[in-house]
Amino acid sequence: MAELDLGTIRDRLLIQAETAGCCAVGVCNQEGLEGGPPSTDLTRQLPGARAAVVFAYPVDEEKLELYMGKIDHAPYQEDYIRSNNITQGLAGEMTNQLRKFGYEAEVVYAGNTPADGTRVDVMPQNERQRKAAELNPAKASDIMMGSIPVISQRHLAAAAGVGFFGMSGNILTTTHGAAVTLGAIVTDADLPPTPVLPPEANYCDECNWCGQVCPTSFMSRTDFTTVKMGEHDHHKYSTREHHMRCASHMMGMAGLSEDGKFSSWGPGRKPLPKQDEQLLPAIMEMGGDLSKRPEVPGGFYDAQRGSKTNIMCSACNLVCHPERKVRAKRLKMWRTGGVSVQHEDGRIETLPVEDARAFLDAMPPERRALYEDIESET
């Protein structure tokens, strides 16, 4: 293979991602990530890593609207599975290309937390990571739950100019907002970085509609996380509370919002305790309920847990579009589209709040107990 300079190799990879349908692509390097949390040290995944290629693949907006409107769950979930496979496949192909040029490269797996079976220890391993951990201390609950990623795709995306942090903490792209699937690879090739997006490109007007579509208290209203990496101060975002508050909705254990007016796609109604210390037993009970409920059609095998799972929320990223009127429409759809119930064959349907109440009331108590607290009523 002909010798190519690093700039040309980089540009080839970026074109490859664009050709595959990505809406934003970029490259960041170790210097541009300096100051971020330990999960921005690329050497955690690949010794000697110098750079990362990052890309965002857009979600199908028609399917997204069926999902946000609580009209149909399956098309978006299928698109979610497909887009994840595309980004992971694209990342694999990029690593092959780099290896052909004599460089080492690895795919950053989107769910690469210690719980996915990786042997990588996410606790600080070197001086850079120890300093990073002091600047960006991890919450005890994140260490306990294993929710700290080996490599944070979000931080890589911000440093590569693929997007910017919004108040949700998600990465917002200039064309498709946060409704994207991120992908990344790390490599020891010293690829030249692409620029961070300028602050004026950030459309986040702090509308807090990401917070309003969230059925639980995951995004703090009072605490904010600030990110400084390399020379750049990135947009602050709402500090994320206990990981299980979000995960319980993502997995469909929980569903109903705290105000009881809307839900994620999960049919669960048991409230999450306000105190983090009481969360674990509640989550264990909900996990038990989930395992006894009928299987939701579709879904995919989660590499972290090895079990079949379904995607039941993501509203905070799907609501967020660069155009405020599109965002407003999605907010309304999600919050007025009804609440989820589950049929005996596993199907999830959303019904108006009163109809959902009647649906649950018609269930035998042992079945209803898989969805809501009935102890106090018996």
Among 59, 150, 213, 282, binds ligand SF4 (CB under 6 A): 213
CA distance 40 to 34: 8
Q: How far is the CB of 317 from ligand SF4 (least distance, A)?
A: 7
Contacts of 23 (CB under 8 A, 6+ apart): 56, 57, 58, 173, 175, 176, 180
Name the closest residue to ligand SF4 (Cβ): 166
Q: Per rule CB under 6 A, is residue 323 in the interface with ligand SF4?
A: no
Among 90, 105, 167, 253, binds ligand SF4 (CB under 6 A): 167
Among 189, 316, 339, 370, binds ligand SF4 (CB under 6 A): 316
Question: How many other β-carbons are positioned within 10 Å of the β-carbon of residue 84?
Answer: 18
> Is residue 313 within 8 Å of 248, Cβ to Cβ?
no
Alpha-carbon separation of residue 317 from 24, 61, 170, 173 (angstroms): 16, 12, 6, 11
Q: How far is the CB of 100 from ligand SF4 (least distance, A)?
A: 38
Among 54, 320, 341, 360, binds ligand SF4 (CB under 6 A): 320
> Is residue 91 within 8 Å of 16, Cβ to Cβ?
no
Side-by-side strand order, sheet with 105-108: 24-29, 51-58, 180-187, 105-108
Among 84, 314, 340, 350, binds ligand SF4 (CB under 6 A): 314
3-state DSSP helix/strand/coil % of the chain, to nearest 5? 40, 15, 45
Single out the segment in contact with ligand SF4 by CB under 6 A; choices: 78-86, 245-253, 279-287, 357-365: 245-253
Q: Per rule CB under 6 A, is residue 206 in the interface with ligand SF4?
A: yes
Single out the segment in contact with ligand SF4 by CB under 6 A; choices: 50-58, 60-68, 309-317, 347-355: 309-317
Single out the segment in contact with ligand SF4 by CB under 6 A; choices: 47-55, 198-206, 270-278, 340-348: 198-206
Among 159, 171, 246, 370, binds ligand SF4 (CB under 6 A): 246
Q: Per rule CB under 6 A, is residue 56 in the interface with ligand SF4?
A: no
Q: How far is the CB of 44 from ligand SF4 (least distance, A)?
A: 25
Single out the segment in contact with ligand SF4 by CB under 6 A; choices: 4-12, 39-47, 62-70, 316-324: 316-324
CA distance 124 to 39: 9
Q: In this structure, what DSSP letter does residue 177 have?
A: B
In order, the DSSP letters of 187-221 are: ESS-PPPPPPPPGGG-------HHHHH-SSS-EEE
> Is residue 244 within 8 Å of 281, Cβ to Cβ?
no
Q: Give contact residues for ligand SF4 (rule: CB under 6 A).
A: 166-168, 204-210, 213-216, 218, 246, 249-250, 264, 313-316, 319-320, 327
